[in-house]
Structure 1
Amino acid sequence: MHGTLALLTAWLARQRWFAGTAACPRLRVLADRELATDDPAVRVRLLVLVDEAPEPRVVYQVPLVERATAGDAAAGEGFIGLREDGVALIDGPHDPAFTAALLSLVAPAAPPSTAEVLRGEQSNTSIIFRAVDPAAAPDRTPVICKVFRVLHPGLNPDIELQSALSAAGSPHVPRVVGRLDGSWRDPDFAAEQADAPNTLDAPDAALHGSLAFAQEFYPGVEDAWRVALRAARGGVDFADAADALGRATADVHLDLARLFPHPEATPDQRATLVAAWHRRLRIALAEVPQLAPWADDIRHRYTAAEAAPWPRLQRVHGDYHLGQVLQVPGRGWVLLDFEGEPMRPMGERSAPDLALRDVAGMLRSFDYVEGSLTLARSQTTGLDADARGLDAQEDADDDRARAWAVSARTAFLAGYRAGSGASPEGALLDALELDKAVYEAIYEARHRPAWLPIPLAAVARLATR
C-alpha cells in the first residue's frame, strides 16, 4: 500500500478539488471497498482517505482503478502514476471500469452507456452517462452522476433537498436517478484501530455519508451565467428572464419551507447566524486589507440587520448564483447543486437559514456579470497602446453594464416578491449581500486576485449607501 499512498499523495495536491493548504498531504486510509468488474486484469476500489496535514483534517473519496499495464492510460487525464510493481493507477471517473461499476450502483436499470467527465468543476467530479444506443432506450434521458470528493458524515444536502423537491413534483429541479452511500472509520479513532476492517460496508464503521448522486442531465442546455453574460454583452434586456428566475426561486423556497422544518428564529439562532457574519469578516480583514476602510460600516450594517424583523428560518440552496441555474426548454429555470457554500462547515449548510441568503447570492451574481464585462474591458484597453483616447467610450460602456445589472436585480426582486408574497428588501437583505461580498473578497484574493475589484466595489456600495 505504501507505493499507492505515495503516488496518491503527489497527485492529490494537484487536483482542483484539493481542499488542503499544505503542498504535501499526509494521507491515511479510512476505508477501502472493492467494486465488481468483468475484467480480470483490472481492480476497482473506492478509497476514503484522511489528510492529516491541515487543521481541521479533510476526508477525501478517491475511486481508484488498478490496471496491470499502463497502456494508453499513461497519457490520459486521470493517470495517477505507475506503482513499483508496474501497476498503473488511474482516477476512477476517467476509467471505464469504474464508470461502469458506478452506473450499475446508482442506476441499475440504465442501458449500456458511454461516460464523459464534466470539465471545469472545482469541488467534485461529475460524469455524464449517455446510452450507447439511444434508439433502444428512447425514454432514457442522459444521466449526470456527481462523485463527491470531500466527504462529510450524514446525508449530503444536495441529495437531501433535490430528492425532496423532485419527489414533491417541483419542475425546478432535475429528476433524481439514484445515489451511493458508504461508511468509513472515524479519523479520530482510526489510528488506534489500524487492524480493524476498513471496508466501506463495515457495519461497525463509525461514520456514514454520501459518496455519489445521479440525476437527469439536460444536453445542450446553458446555465444562466452564460445566458445572462451574453445578454449583457449584447445589450439585450434581461428583465423578463430575471423576473421568471425570481418567481422560480420563490417557488423553490416555498416548497422547501413546506417540506422541511420552518422555525421562528430564536435569539440563539440569530446570534449564531450574525456571529458567522462577523467571523467571516475577521477572516476577510486579515486576508484582504483593502476591506479595512469599510470595516466599521459593515459591522454597523450587521448590527442593524440583527435588530430588524426576521422571517422564519428554513432550508435554502446556500450557494445560489447564475451558474447554479439552467434554462431548460419547456421547463424554464431549473436549479442545481444544493450543497451550500464550500467554505461553510457542513453543519451550517444543513441548518435552517434565511431564504434571503439565496436572494442575496443571486443579486451578487448579477453584479458579477457587470463586473466581468468591466474587468474584461479594462484588461483589453490596458494592453492597447492606442486606448488612451477611449475613456469616454469606456465610461459609457460601464454605465450600460451597470444599468443592465440594476435592471436585472430589480426584475429578479419583483419576480421573487410576486412569487413569495413577501418583500425581500431591507436591512437583513443588505447584510446578507454584504456577507456574500465579503466571502467573495476572500475567494478572489486567494484564487483570482484580478477579480478582487468586483466584490470590493460591492462592499463600498453596500456598506455606505
Structure 2
Amino acid sequence: MEHASVGTDFDLPANLDRWVTDQRWFAGKGHSPVLRSIGLWTLPTAEPDVRIACHLVLDTASRYSTLYQLPLTKRPAPLPDTAAQALIEQTTDGDGRPRYVYDATHDPAYAAALLAFILAGGTGAAAPTGVGARGEILGATLAGGAPAGAVALTGLSVTASRVLSGEQSNTSIIVDLADSFGRTSRPVICKVFRVVADGQNPDVSVQSALAGVGSRFVPEPIGVISGDWTAPLSPTQHSGHLVFVQEFLPGVEDAWRVALGAAEAGEDFDGPAHALGAATAAVHRDLARAFPTVNATDDVVNQLCGSMRERYRLAAREVPELAGYRDAIGAVFARAQAAAWPQLQRIHGDYHLGQVLDVPGRGWVLIDFEGEPLRPLSERSLPDIPLRDVAGMLRSFDYVGATIGRQDPAAESGAGVWAASARAAFLRGYRDAFPGNSLAGQEPLLAAFELDKAIYESVYEIRNRPSWLPIPLRAVRRLAEHAGFSASAPRHAAQDRSTHASAAPAHHNG
C-alpha cells in the first residue's frame, strides 16, 4: 500500500507493514499492521548523500492506536552485509539512481547524528513535518557549570555502532567513540523508544532523578531527545521521550547469568545476594527522596488488593490448576489488606535479575526503569509499594533454582536449597540497609505480592512455555500452604502437559 508522509519527499516504504510485523518491538502480534505516518522530523547528518527522517507511524489496525517511532535512512549505496536485515526497501529516485532505505538504528550515520543533535541542543521544527524534536544534555552539573553529559560527548567522534540484540520493546544502539587523537573513549548506549506515548518515559525520568540525588547504582544519564506531535482527530498536543543516551558498561553480565552460573557450580551466592538486597534498598530510599510519596489510604489499599483479586480471577480461567487454591489465595490477600502498609513511592516496576548488571569494581547497577512494557505509560509512573520489587526479585531467584532443576533433575533438591538461601540473603541485605527496619509486620504484604507475581507468571507460562508452568505453580502451592491451606486441585496436572519450551531464556520474563 502507499503510505502518506505529510507532504515530504521521504515516503514510507511500500512494504513497511510486512517488515514491521517481523520486528520484535512490534506490539501487535495478533494482527497485521496498517501503518500511517502522522509526521516526521529530519535529522541533520554530516555524511554526504545520506538523508535521515524520523517518522511517527500510527498502527491504524490496532484497537489501541499504537504509535511507533520509525527512523529511516536513505542512502545511495548499500551498507555492509551485516546490516542486511535492516534493509527495508531498494528503490529508485527521480534521477534514476538507486536508493537504499534502512531502519536507521542499524546505520552508523544515524547514531552519529543523534549524538551531534543532543550535544548541540538541536531542535526540529514541528511545521510542516508534523513532529517537533529537541535534544538536551542530562547529567549532574560539574564544578565549572558544564553538564557532565556534555563533557562525555564533547570532542568525540563515532567510530562504530551496533544494535544490542535480544531487546523486545525498544532498540538500543551501542556507540563506540574516539577523541580527536583516535584514542578510544568510553562508549555510550542510545535507547530508541519504539512505542511512543504522551508523557515522560520512566526510564529517563527515574534514572535521571536517581543520578541527580547521587545514586551510584544506576548508569550515568547523558542526553535525551524529546518530541512533540498532534495525534489525528485530536487538537491536543502530545509530547514524550524519543531517545535516551546513557553510559554503556561493556564486558559485564546481568545478575541472571551470574546467579545461574553460581547455582550450576554449586557456589554459595549469599554474599552477592545480600549486596543486591542492600543495593535495592538504597535505590528505593533514593527514589523516595527524588519523587513524592503517597500515604496508603484505605481507598488505595482496597484498590491494590482488588486488582490482585481480579488478576487471580482472570488467571484461573486460563490456568485451571489455580482454581484449587481459591481459599488460600483469598486468605493471603485478606491478610495483606488488613496489614499495616508503608507509604507508596516510585519503584522499578519490572524488577528481576535480568535488570541488574554486575559491574567489576562497582558492584550491582540497576537498569531499565521503564516498568512493565504492557502497562500504559500513565500507570507505570504511579507510586507503588516497594515490596512489589522485592517480590519480583524473590521470584527471579526461584526461577534460577527451577532452571537448574529442569536442566538436571538430580540437582533439583540442591538447587532449591540454593534458591532459598539466596532469597533469605537478599531479604537480609534489604533489611540491613534500613537500620531499625526489620520488615517485621510486612510479611503478609510480601507474601501477597509474591503470590500475585506467581499468578502472573502462571498465565505467561501457559501462553508461551506450558512445560514451565510447574515453576510458578510450586510457588503458589508453597505460599498457600504457608497460609494454612492445601489445594483441592491435583498437584501433578501441570506436569502432564505435552507442549515443551525449546530452550531456557536468559532470564524469566516476569
Q: Specify which structure has the higher proportion of helix.
A: 1
CA distance, structure 1, for counterparts of residue 374 and residue 434 of structure 2: 29
Residue aligning to 1:342: 373
SS in 2 for 1:182: strand
Q: Does the C-alpha gap of structure 1 residues 371 and 34 become closer, same or farther in structure 2, counting only changes over 3 Å? A: same
Residue aligning to 1:54: 62
- The one-letter code of the counterpart of 1:311 is P
Residue aligning to 2:402: 371
Aligned to 2:27, which of 13, 16, 19? 19
CA distance, structure 2, for counterparts of residue 372 and residue 405 of structure 1: 11
CA distance, structure 2, for counterparts of residue 223 and residue 290 of structure 1: 33
Residue aligning to 1:199: none
User: What is the TM-score of this pair, normalised by structure 1?
Assistant: 0.87
1:148 maps onto 2:200 in alignment? no
- The one-letter code of the counterpart of 1:235 is G
1:325 shift after superposition: 0.8
Residue aligning to 2:461: 444
CA distance, structure 2, for counterparts of residue 419 and residue 134 of structure 1: 44
Unaligned runs of 5+ in 2: 4-10, 121-149, 483-510
1:128 maps onto 2:174 in alignment? yes
Residue aligning to 1:390: none
Aligned to 2:40, which of 13, 32, 42? 32
- The one-letter code of the counterpart of 1:420 is F
Contact 2:21 2:32 in 1 (8 A): yes
Residue aligning to 2:163: 117
CA distance, structure 2, for counterparts of residue 210 and residue 92 of structure 1: 18
Aligned to 2:222, which of 158, 177, 180? 177
Residue aligning to 1:104: 116
1:412 maps onto 2:426 in alignment? yes
- The one-letter code of the counterpart of 1:125 is T
CA distance, structure 2, for counterparts of residue 123 and residue 214 of structure 1: 16
- The one-letter code of the counterpart of 1:98 is Y
Q: Does the C-alpha gap of structure 1 residues 216 and 74 become closer, same or farther in structure 2, counting only changes over 3 Å? A: closer
Residue aligning to 1:194: none
Contact 2:346 2:382 in 1 (8 A): yes
1:448 shift after superposition: 3.1
1:76 maps onto 2:122 in alignment? no
Per-residue CA distance 1:53-104 (angstroms, 9 max, x = gap): 2332321111111234546469612122335765432111101221111122
Residue aligning to 1:42: 50
Contact 2:40 2:53 in 1 (8 A): yes
1:221 shift after superposition: 1.1
Q: Does the C-alpha gap of structure 1 residues 136 and 38 become closer, same or farther in structure 2, counting only changes over 3 Å? A: closer
Moved over 6 A (4+): none
- The one-letter code of the counterpart of 1:361 is G
Residue aligning to 1:250: 281
Residue aligning to 1:398: 412
Question: 1:281-360 alignment to 2 at 5 Å?
Answer: 281-360=312-391
- The one-letter code of the counterpart of 1:413 is L
Q: Does the C-alpha gap of structure 1 residues 56 and 293 become closer, same or farther in structure 2, counting only changes over 3 Å? A: farther
Unaligned runs of 5+ in 1: 191-204, 379-393
Paired positions, count: 433
CA distance, structure 1, for counterparts of residue 328 and residue 392 of structure 2: 20
CA distance, structure 1, for counterparts of residue 412 and residue 207 of structure 2: 38
Contact 1:20 1:53 in 2 (8 A): no
CA distance, structure 2, for counterparts of residue 283 and residue 273 of structure 1: 16
Q: Does the C-alpha gap of structure 1 residues 75 and 177 become closer, same or farther in structure 2, counting only changes over 3 Å? A: closer
Aligned to 2:73, which of 49, 62, 65? 65
CA distance, structure 2, for counterparts of residue 440 and residue 263 of structure 1: 28
CA distance, structure 2, for counterparts of residue 71 and residue 166 of structure 1: 37
Q: Does the C-alpha gap of structure 1 residues 75 and 160 become closer, same or farther in structure 2, counting only changes over 3 Å? A: closer
Contact 1:288 1:441 in 2 (8 A): yes
SS in 1 for 2:395: helix
SS in 1 for 2:433: helix
- The one-letter code of the counterpart of 2:415 is A
Q: Does the C-alpha gap of structure 1 residues 341 and 77 become closer, same or farther in structure 2, counting only changes over 3 Å? A: same
Residue aligning to 1:10: 18
Q: Does the C-alpha gap of structure 1 residues 342 and 299 become closer, same or farther in structure 2, counting only changes over 3 Å? A: farther
SS in 1 for 2:251: coil
User: What is the TM-score of this pair, normalised by structure 2?
Assistant: 0.80
Q: Does the C-alpha gap of structure 1 residues 119 and 462 become closer, same or farther in structure 2, counting only changes over 3 Å? A: same
Contact 1:22 1:54 in 2 (8 A): no
Per-residue CA distance 1:237-274 (angstroms, 9 max, x = gap): 00011111111111111111111111211222222222
- The one-letter code of the counterpart of 2:45 is T
SS in 2 for 1:76: helix
Q: Percent identity?
A: 50
Between 18-27 and 81-90, the greater mean CA deviation after superposition: 81-90
1:333 shift after superposition: 1.0
1:112 shift after superposition: 1.0
Per-residue CA distance 1:169-210 (angstroms, 9 max, x = gap): 1111111111111122224538xxxxxxxxxxxxxx711001
Q: Which has the higher contact order (CA 8 A, sep 6+)?
A: 1
Aligned to 1:89, which of 101, 109, 119? 101
Residue aligning to 2:444: 427
Q: Does the C-alpha gap of structure 1 residues 10 and 283 become closer, same or farther in structure 2, counting only changes over 3 Å? A: farther
1:371 shift after superposition: 1.3
- The one-letter code of the counterpart of 1:401 is A
- The one-letter code of the counterpart of 1:91 is D
CA distance, structure 2, for counterparts of residue 281 and residue 81 of structure 1: 46
- The one-letter code of the counterpart of 2:450 is E
